[in-house]
Chain A
Amino acid sequence: MSNNNILINIENLKISFWLRQGVVRAVDGVSFQIKQGSVVGLVGESGCGKSVTARSLLRIEAPGKIDDGKIILNTGSDVIIKIHKLTEKSQEIRAIRGNEISMIFQEPMTSFGPMHTIGNQICEAINVHRDISKKDAQRKAIDALKSVGISRPEMVMKQYAHQLSGGMRQRAMIAMALICEPKLLIADEPTTALDVTTEAQILELLMGRQQRMNMAILYISHNLAVISQIADEVVVMYLGQIVEQANVETLFSAPKHPYTQALMKSIPQIKKDSKGKLEVIKGNIPDPYTRPSGCYFHQRCPQFIRGLCDKLVPQMCVLEDGARVACHLYK
């Protein structure tokens, strides 16, 4: 039963970027699973590889290249698709994009093509995967816009992207992404560029649709507050590796990895006695070309054990409360 529950299985994924200056291993042995209908939050600083990981599910990780590892999609009808084996331009992966797995992006400003109407682009999303008449496609598009809370969908259909506000554009994006009722929605920081009020509305919209459609969401963010509200499971990444993974209550009540703990502490809190400095994680993210030996975090870790953390790479282990950590403090 539990096997049928797993929608996406990522095993030891490794993705590299071949740049003029050298090779960067952006994703360095990442493994986790996404269950059907669950919300997984993917957290980490800029450059930790969360975006690349997500993109690899749709094979749009270019210009990165998958060096190793497996990505397996279980569509539920006993069809197993080995995504990592598909070529980037193949028909198989195109059948998945926008259909089984959809993605929404951070920049609502530039997500729609500037030269075509919103209606044209949403209908295109349907027509790629469904063989229906033009009129039916239009009707579905209008319904989709309505379902994301756009009040005058017929008008928006005829408008161009630059005529809409950021919030409207993001809603239209969501409508377009969900129109084929995907099993997984990847949301790559969809609210980072929006103001707080609009962000709340979009989150509410997403959560509502998720529940109604029993859709899984992979939500990428560096905003822990948002993650704590919407996620079931949380995966914390640092420099291309997973350092901790747990369900949301466990993670926020008892963070294990020093990095996770530091992240929690650095969230500004409004307390009665608001005194003292903001907590920061000391040091900087290491140069991606020259990674530290042993544990990647050891140079900035407040619980650094000399001789161990700088020599030996910590292995992922499962703890009693179900959390998985990669740290020498835990065995």
Chain B
Amino acid sequence: MRLLKYIGKRLFWGLIVLIFVSFFSFLIIQLPPGDFLTSYLARLEKAGMSFDDATMTALRHSYGLDQPFFVQYWKWVSRFARGDMGVSFLYMERVDKIIIERLPATLLLTFSSLFIIYLISIPLGIYSARHQYSVGDFATAIFGFIGMATPSFLLALVLMWLTYEKFGVSIGGLQSPYFMQQSMSMAKIWDLIKHLPVPIIVITVAGTANLIRTMRGTLLDELDRQYVTTARAKGLTERKLIRKYPVRAAMNPIISAGGWILPELFSGQIVAAIVLGLPTIGPVLYRALLGEDMFLAAGCVMIISFLTIIGFLISDIVLALADPRIRFN
């Protein structure tokens, strides 16, 4: 029961944050100088659509441009909540359609990256803590430092160049052009898998480096604690007691530190996606910003923020489930 109340509270705050973010997103639309509708319509005109005065006035009114700021905002938000995110003139499409098309790839990439990060970091972190100052520990540390210092776009460029040089394969995008038209088949899936390693490496490097360090540091702290000695004095094997006590206790800071990972992934994959040409929401946001396609831009910011907030929520819930100290407090 307590848990449900906790979740409810977090959901409520998530909603508030989302409203705050919507305000911020709308602000972005308004920031460029000039009436956004005028420049917007001017672009649509350039793209081939034409409007007569009556339509322009009607549009103006429906977007509330003759109204004060907050009315405009309200109109945009209420439309957005109903699923009408406006139209993109860059793609000549409804914004929600553009975003939904790219949602699966975004989620696939993010969650598989999350999985990989945990899969690699936890064993490596434990190893580093238990064998402090060994060769493996140093190697991991060096990898970590370089991983954190290299900007993701750089890593993407280097890896692209390497695979190009070594394998003669150009690995932009998640699927070779040939397979994009084809229907699902084993070959198509294999092609997809071939394209996954480089994006995943680029996206996971920074997170992995960070998490390994955190795991190592936290575990080192826990290994010094009294209850570890108590467990040893009971006659447990070293391996069993390390896993059962300090690792388990270190998992909580890891999970809460991991709480950062999922949201950061949604944000961090954007640059890699841009450089590698992945079919996710990131490159769309980028193009929208460069091309001043404001509805698309605002829509992307909202969706990415929404995903980020969900990410935080998931990690909060997982942490509450994992730590009895939070549950029974």
Contacts and interface: CB of A to CB of B under 8 A. Distances in A.
B325 A58 contact: no
A110 B225 contact: yes
Given A114-B249, A115-B249, A97 B230 contact: no
B249 A128 contact: no
Which among A107, A114, A129 has the greatest number of chain B C-beta atoms within 10 A? A114
Contacts of A160: 324-325, 328
A309 to B, nearest CB: 38
Interface in A150-206: 160, 162-163, 173, 176
B230 A111 contact: yes
B231 A113 contact: yes
Contacts of A129: 235
B244 A95 contact: no
B228 to A, nearest CB: 8
A304 interface: no
Contacts of A107: 226
A60 B233 contact: yes
Contact of B234 (A97, A110, A116, A163): A97
Interface string A94-130: 1111110011010100111111100000001100110
Contacts of B231: 113
B312 to A, nearest CB: 23
A16 B295 CA distance: 71
Contact of B237 (A94, A111, A162): A94
A89 interface: yes
B226 A176 contact: no
A125 B231 CA distance: 9
B325 A162 contact: yes
Interface string B194-233: 0000000000000000000000000000000111011111
Contact of A113 (B233, B244, B328): B244
A60 B229 contact: yes
B238 A102 contact: no
B233 A116 contact: no
B247 to A, nearest CB: 10
B94 interface: no
B225 to A, nearest CB: 6
A198 B40 CA distance: 77
Prevailing SS type, chain A contact patch? mixed
B245 A113 contact: yes
Contacts of B237: 89, 94
A182 to B, nearest CB: 11
B43 interface: no
A97 B232 contact: yes
Contacts of B232: 60, 97
Interface string A23-60: 00000000000000000000000000000000000101
Prevailing SS type, chain B contact patch? helix
B236 A128 contact: yes
A210 to B, nearest CB: 19
A89 B324 contact: no
Contacts of B248: 113, 115-116
A113 B234 CA distance: 13
A17 to B, nearest CB: 15
A329 to B, nearest CB: 39
Interface in A74-101: 89, 94-99
Interface in B256-277: none
Interface in B168-182: none
A163 B328 contact: yes
Given A114-B249, A116-B244, A124 B236 contact: yes
Contacts of B328: 160, 162-163
B234 A111 contact: no
Contact of A95 (B229, B235, B323): B235
Contacts of A98: 233-235
B236 A94 contact: yes
A305 B109 CA distance: 80
Contacts of B227: 110-114
Contacts of B252: 115
A202 to B, nearest CB: 17
Given A107-B226, A114-B227, A97 B233 contact: yes
Contacts of B235: 94-99, 128-129
A176 B234 contact: yes
Interface of B: 225-227, 229-238, 244-245, 248-249, 252, 323-325, 328
11 contacts: A58-B233, A97-B234, A105-B229, A105-B230, A113-B244, A114-B249, A114-B325, A115-B248, A160-B324, A160-B325, A160-B328
Given A98-B234, A128-B235, 20 more contacts: A58-B233, A60-B229, A99-B235, A102-B233, A105-B230, A110-B227, A111-B226, A111-B227, A111-B230, A113-B227, A113-B245, A114-B227, A114-B324, A115-B249, A116-B248, A124-B234, A124-B236, A125-B234, A160-B325, A162-B328
Q: What 8 A-B pairs are tightest by C-beta distance, nearest first?
A: A97-B235, A98-B234, A110-B226, A98-B235, A94-B235, A113-B245, A103-B233, A113-B227
